[in-house]
A and B are shown apart, each in its own frame.
Chain A
């Protein structure tokens, strides 16, 4: 019991009057898209490889195709791993690599490097995972539910096409302010 119940109701009434408080936020810390047995091109005369890799988040992450919803999509890591049919025994020839984001055609967005890799102590890895430190929001770069990355690799790489599994992991955060619609 309280002496003046109406006074106690005031904070709640104020909260109700502020439509901006009606929000919902979804955070998915694991959104990993895998390209299994992906064919990479052979290296050029300088031993380098340049290729574009497109990840289709499509029906698995419907929110990225909803143009009316704001979201943050950030690249967390990229993993390159060999399988039994890769045509390579290990990735020791990969001395350095970088992964950048590709801007959709017709846009003037910058195309920064999101991941850089330099070969470490393991000279014969069969799998490489590199984290992305940038935290760049990739939403402006999503085109038709896809995200395209440019991979540049240098070292002693095969001159013939080879195969690897390429996995890119993203973090997705969606905020809905449905109070604005009231």
Chain B
């Protein structure tokens, strides 16, 4: 799969009855060994100089979602899901940025971000 920031693998399990309007439980996970998160550099409190570090990140995630399917269980249906994702992003490189005050330089990196965040999915699916 391509997630927008890198290639990786993704898999999941969906449980739902074959009804026109059916509740659904979905579990999924994925791993991307190489992700380019440099788009985050310079945004919020992320230093712009961290761009080369963020460009070589990796991540994995696991999600649990609940929602519903609306439509034909043997054809086209609309899906809506909401839930939680656990995200683990690792950027193992370092970058040296200019310091402030009496500090000449600051070396930053070898960082990991772990987050549990809300997630949602909206889409169309076709069963055959």
Could you list which residues of chain A lie within 8 angstroms of chain B, going by C-beta atoms? 1-2, 5-6, 8-9, 11-13, 15-16, 21-37, 54-63, 66, 145-146, 169
A35 vs B111: C-alpha distance when bound (angstroms): 23
Residue B109 CB within 8 A of the other chain: yes
Which chain B residues lie closer than 8 Å to A32 at the CB level? Answer: 106-108
Residue of A nearest to B65 (CB): A12
Chain A residues within an 8 Å CB radius of B17: 1-2, 5
Q: Is B100 within 8 A of A60, CB to CB?
A: yes
Identify A27's interface contact among B45, B82, B99, B111, CB under 8 A: B111
A24 engages B114 (CB within 8 Å): yes
Closest chain B residue to A5 by CB distance?
Answer: B23
Residues from chain A with Cβ under 8 Å of B105 in the complex? 33-34, 36
By a beta-carbon cutoff of 8 Å, the part of chain B in contact with chain A is 15-18, 22-25, 45, 47, 49, 64-66, 82-84, 94, 97-118
- B15 near A54 with CB under 8 A, answer no
List A contacts of B98 (CB < 8 A).
60
**Among the listed A2, A15, A28, A146, which residue makes an inter-chain contact with B15, where contact means beta carbons less than 8 Å apart?**
A2
- Contact A30 B45, beta carbon cutoff 8 Å: no
Report the nearest B residue to A18, measured CB to CB. Answer: B84
Q: Which 5 A-B pairs have the closest CB atoms?
A: A56-B101, A58-B100, A24-B115, A60-B106, A36-B104
Cα separation A145 to B94 with both chains bound (whole Å): 21
28 contacts between A and B (CB under 8 A): A5-B15, A5-B25, A11-B64, A12-B65, A16-B66, A16-B84, A21-B84, A21-B116, A22-B116, A24-B113, A24-B115, A25-B115, A27-B112, A29-B111, A30-B111, A32-B106, A33-B105, A33-B106, A33-B107, A35-B102, A37-B104, A56-B101, A58-B103, A59-B47, A60-B47, A60-B99, A60-B103, A146-B101
Give complex CA distance A32, B109 in Å: 9
* B41 CB, nearest partner CB in chain A, Å: 13
Complex partner residue of A30 from B18, B94, B117, CB under 8 angstroms: B94
Q: What are the residues of chain B within 8 A of A35 when measuring CB–CB?
A: 102-104
Report whether B103 and A62 are in contact in the complex, using a CB–CB cutoff of 8 Å. Answer: no
Which residues does chain A contribute within 8 Å of B107, judged by CB atoms?
A: 30-34, 169
